[in-house]
Amino acid sequence: MSVFSMFRTLALLLATGAGAAAQEHATHAAIPSAGPAMSEGKSFAEGGGEALYAQVCAACHQAGGEGAVGAAAYPALRHNPKLASAGYPVTVLLYGLRGMPPLGSMMTDTQVAEVVNYVRSHFDNPYGDAVAPEDVKAARP
Amino acid sequence: MAEASGFSRRKLIAMVGAAAGSAPAYQVMTSLGFAEDSPYRGPIRLDGDPKGASVLVLGAGLAGMTAALELHRAGYTVQILEYNTRAGGRNWSLRGGDTYTELGGATQSCAFDAGLYLNPGPWRIPYHHHGVLDYCRRLGVALEPFIQLNHNAFVHSTAGFGGTPQRIRTVKTDFDGATAELLAKATRKGALDAQVSKEDQEILIEALRSLGGLDKDLAYRAGPDSSEFRGYAHDPGGGLAARPMDGEPMALHDILTSRLWRGLQNFLLYEFQTTMFQPVGGMGRIGEAFARALPPDTIRYGAKVTQIAQDGHGVTVTYQDLGQGGAVRQAQADWCVCALPLTVLSQIPTQVGSKMKAAIDAVPYASSVKVGLQFKRRFWEEDEHIFGGISYTDLPIRQISYPSTGYNAGGKGVLLGAYTWNGPNSYEFTALSPAERVRRAVAYGSQIHPQYRTEFETGIAVAWHRVPFTLGCAGDWTDEARAEHYDNLCALDGRIMLAGEHASYIPAWQEGAILSALDAVTRLHKRVLAA
pLDDT in tens, B437-478: 999 999 999 999 999 999 999 999 999 999 999 999 999 999
Mutant choice from A5, A9, A38, A55 vs B, greatest count of B C-beta within 10 A: A38
Please state the rounded mean pLDDT for residues B321-337. Answer: 98
pLDDT band for position B531 (cuts 50, 70, 90): confident
For residue B506, give how far its alpha carbon lies from the nearest alpha carbon of chain A (Å). Answer: 18
Please state the rounded mean pLDDT for residues B501-521. Answer: 98
**pLDDT of B272-299, one tens digit each?**
999 999 999 999 999 999 999 999 999 9
What does DSSP say about strands B232-234 and B245-246: parallel, antiparallel, or unpaired?
antiparallel
What is the pLDDT, as a whole number, of residue A99? Answer: 86
In angstroms, rounded to a whole number, what is the distance separating the alpha carbons of residues B508 and B516? 12
Instruction: Tell if the CB–CB gap between B233 and A60 is shorter than 8 Å.
Output: no
For residue A135, give how far its alpha carbon lies from the nearest alpha carbon of chain B (Å). Answer: 23
pLDDT band for position B4 (cuts 50, 70, 90): very low
What is the pLDDT, as a whole number, of residue B505? Answer: 97
**pLDDT of B394-440, one tens digit each?**
999 999 999 999 999 999 999 999 999 999 999 999 999 999 999 99
**pLDDT of A65-90, one tens digit each?**
999 999 999 999 999 999 999 999 99
Q: Which residues pair with B368 in a beta bridge?
A: B421
In angstroms, rounded to a whole number, what is the distance separating the alpha carbons of residues B78 and B64? 11
Q: Among A22, A59, A62, whose Cβ lies nearest the Cβ of B427?
A: A59
Question: Can you point out the beta strands (E) in chain A?
Answer: 68-69, 73-74
Structural domain count, chain A: 2
pLDDT band for position B38 (cuts 50, 70, 90): low
DSSP state of B341: -
Q: Above 80 in pLDDT, residue B35?
A: no
Q: Above 70 in pLDDT, residue A9?
A: no
Sign of CA dihedral B240, B241, B246, B250: negative
Helices (H), B446-509: 452-455, 479-490
In angstroms, rounded to a whole number, what is the distance separating the alpha carbons of residues B173 and B228? 10
Q: Among B233, B385, B428, whose Cβ lies nearest the Cβ of A11?
A: B233
Yes or no: domain B94-152+275-282+366-466 corresponds to CATH 3.30.70.270: no
For the ranges B2-11, B90-99, B480-489, the lowest mean pLDDT is seen at B2-11
What is the pLDDT, as a whole number, of residue A25? Answer: 36
Give percent of chain B with pLDDT exceeding 70: 93
Yes or no: domain B168-257 corresponds to CATH 1.20.1440.240: yes
pLDDT band for position B501 (cuts 50, 70, 90): very high
What is the pLDDT, as a whole number, of residue B184? Answer: 98
From chain B, the residues in CB contact with A16 under 8 A are 164-165, 167, 384
Q: Which residues pair with B79 in a beta bridge?
A: B56
Q: Domain containing A31: what range?
A: 1-35
Note every long-range contact of B3-8, with CB atoms under 8 Å and residues 24 or more positions apart, other chains counting.
none
For residue B393, give how far its alpha carbon lies from the nearest alpha carbon of chain A (Å). Answer: 12
Contacts of B312 (CB under 8 A, 6+ apart): none
DSSP state of B247: P
CATH number at residue A54: 1.10.760.10
> How many separate helices (H) and strands (E) can be counted in chain B?
17, 24
What is the pLDDT, as a whole number, of residue B136? Answer: 98
Torsion angle, CA of A101/A104/A106/A107, rounded to 10 degrees? Answer: 140
DSSP state of B175: H
- Give the global pTM: 0.89
Q: Is A65 a domain residue?
A: yes
Q: Above 70 in pLDDT, residue B521?
A: yes
Q: Indicate if A71 and A107 belong to the same structural domain.
A: yes
From chain A, the residues in CB contact with B429 under 8 A are 38
What is the pLDDT, as a whole number, of residue A31? Answer: 53
Note every long-range contact of B478-482, with CB atoms under 8 Å and residues 24 or more positions apart, other chains counting.
B481/B362, B481/B363
What is the pLDDT, as a whole number, of residue B37? Answer: 56
From chain B, the residues in CB contact with A58 under 8 A are 431
Q: Indicate if A74 and A122 belong to the same structural domain.
A: yes
What is the pLDDT, as a whole number, of residue B36? Answer: 54
For the ranges A14-18, B371-375, B459-463, the lowest mean pLDDT is seen at A14-18
Q: Is A42 a domain residue?
A: no
Q: Among A32, A55, A101, whose Cβ lies nearest the Cβ of B364?
A: A101
For the ranges A49-63, A96-110, B14-28, B329-343, the lowest mean pLDDT is seen at B14-28
Average model confidence (pLDDT) across chain B: 93
Q: Indicate if A73 and A27 belong to the same structural domain.
A: no
Instruction: Tell if the CB–CB gap between A43 and B346 is shorter than 8 Å.
Output: no
DSSP three-state, residue B337: strand
What is the pLDDT, as a whole number, of residue B41? Answer: 84
Q: Above 80 in pLDDT, residue B28?
A: no
Q: Indicate if A10 and A57 belong to the same structural domain.
A: no
Q: Above 50 in pLDDT, residue A6?
A: no
Please state the rounded mean pLDDT for residues B30-55. Answer: 78
Q: Indicate if A31 and A68 belong to the same structural domain.
A: no
Q: Indicate if A81 and A28 belong to the same structural domain.
A: no
Nearest chain B residue (CA) to A62: B104
Q: Above 90 in pLDDT, residue B342?
A: yes
Regarding predicted confidence, which is higher, B509 or A3?
B509
Please state the rounded mean pLDDT for residues B207-230. Answer: 97
What is the pLDDT, as a whole number, of residue B372? Answer: 98
**pLDDT of B143-191, one tens digit each?**
999 999 999 999 999 999 999 999 999 999 999 999 999 999 999 999 9
Q: Above 50 in pLDDT, residue A19?
A: no
Q: Indicate if A81 and A23 belong to the same structural domain.
A: no
Q: Indicate if A81 and A129 belong to the same structural domain.
A: yes
Mention the CATH class of domain B54-88+285-364+476-530. alpha beta
In angstroms, rounded to a whole number, what is the distance separating the alpha carbons of residues B452 and B449? 6
Cβ atoms of B267 and B124 closer than 8 Å: no
What is the pLDDT, as a whole number, of residue A32? Answer: 59
Q: Indicate if A53 and A28 belong to the same structural domain.
A: no
Q: Indicate if A15 and A61 belong to the same structural domain.
A: no
Instruction: Tell if the CB–CB gap between A72 and B343 is shorter than 8 Å.
Output: yes
Please state the rounded mean pLDDT for residues B238-242. Answer: 93
In angstroms, rounded to a whole number, what is the distance separating the alpha carbons of residues B26 and A40? 49
